[in-house]
Amino acid sequence: MPYPIYPIIDSHCHLDFPKFNPDREETILRARKAGVIGMINSGISLKGNRISLELAEKNDDIHAALGLSPDIGREGSDKDIEAILAQIEANAGKAVGIGETGLDFQDCKTNEERERQTAAFKKVIEIAKDLDKPLVVHARLAEAEVLELVRGVDTVIYHCYSGPVETMKEIVDSGYYISLATLVCFSEHHQALAAEVPPENLLLETDSPFLSPRRGRNEPAFIVDSIPIVAKIKEMEPAEIAKFATENARRVFKI
């Protein structure tokens, strides 16, 4: 291992994605060997939510979050969206969170698409509130808009936060959490975010299979790369950063 082993929870990954089909079990074993003691697998679709539940049922250290992606909110039929919402409600008792879900205005070309995406997001927000579950949000070019919509939710995690530092401070002031992806290993903007987020509001994630700090596909084991980076930025010990991120994840997801 390139780093000492610190117990750490990957607060957001997608082991259900097809990129893990060839070696899903080996990927999970590599994560454990690296010190990953928990993985929050976030579904974003009907199939993804189903596989997330199956992974959580088979593995004590994998926990399902059930979501509806902004892309489906924008492009999906009413029937597709309603099927996912019904699935989330029916299986919420087996999930540690609702999401990922949210707004992604990068790909919205028209106001109609924004409105459709926002309408789907609002429905998921209501489910999280009704069920008193933490809400895992995706916000791209819509960080402030998402904040206004989620204000009634007790616990909100901004997954893979990439927005302005100023908005991040508003999110933290609202008592919500910032999850930094392994982008922090090579992105100056994310390193600036790491410098400003209070340890009490910090989660760490891979968002695997995306955003790898190494060559090729990302995977939960690679979360260990971000620990010393964030520790150096914050002038803390790596063990302290891992402890904060892990305890925050345990508290947020009640695991």
How much is the pLDDT for 109?
84
Per-residue 3-state assignment (H helix, E strand, C coil) for the chain = CCCCCCCEEEEEECCCCHHHCCCHHHHHHHHHHHCEEEEEEECCCHHHHHHHHHHHHHCCCEEEEECCCHHHHHHCCHHHHHHHHHHHHHHHHHCCEEEEEEEECCCCCCHHHHHHHHHHHHHHHHHHHHHCCCEEEEEECCHHHHHHHCCCCCCEEECCCCCCHHHHHHHHHCCCEEEECHHHHCCHHHHHHHHHCCHHHEEECCCCCCCCCCCCCCCHHHHHHHHHHHHHHHCCCHHHHHHHHHHHHHHHHCC
Which sign, positive or negative, has the C-alpha torsion 150, 156, 161, 163? positive
Structure tokens at 194: 């790491």
pLDDT in tens, 24-66: 999 999 999 999 999 999 999 999 999 999 999 999 999 999 9
**What does the pLDDT read at residue 3?**
56
Condensed to tens digits (0 to 9), the pLDDT of residues 129-140 reads: 999 999 999 999
* pTM of the predicted model as reported, rounded to 2 decimal places: 0.96
Task: Measure the N-to-C terminal CA separation of the chain; round to a whole number of Å.
Answer: 27
Contacts of residue 59, defined as CB under 8 A and 6 or more positions apart, other chains included, come to: 28
Residue 41's DSSP bridge partners are: 13, 64
Residue 237: both structure tokens together: 């010990």
Burial of 191 (0-12, 13-18, 19+ CB in 10 A): middle
Peptide bond just before 113 cis, omega within 30 deg: no
Structure tokens at 178: 């910032």
In this prediction, the residues of the chain whose per-residue pLDDT falls under 50 are 1
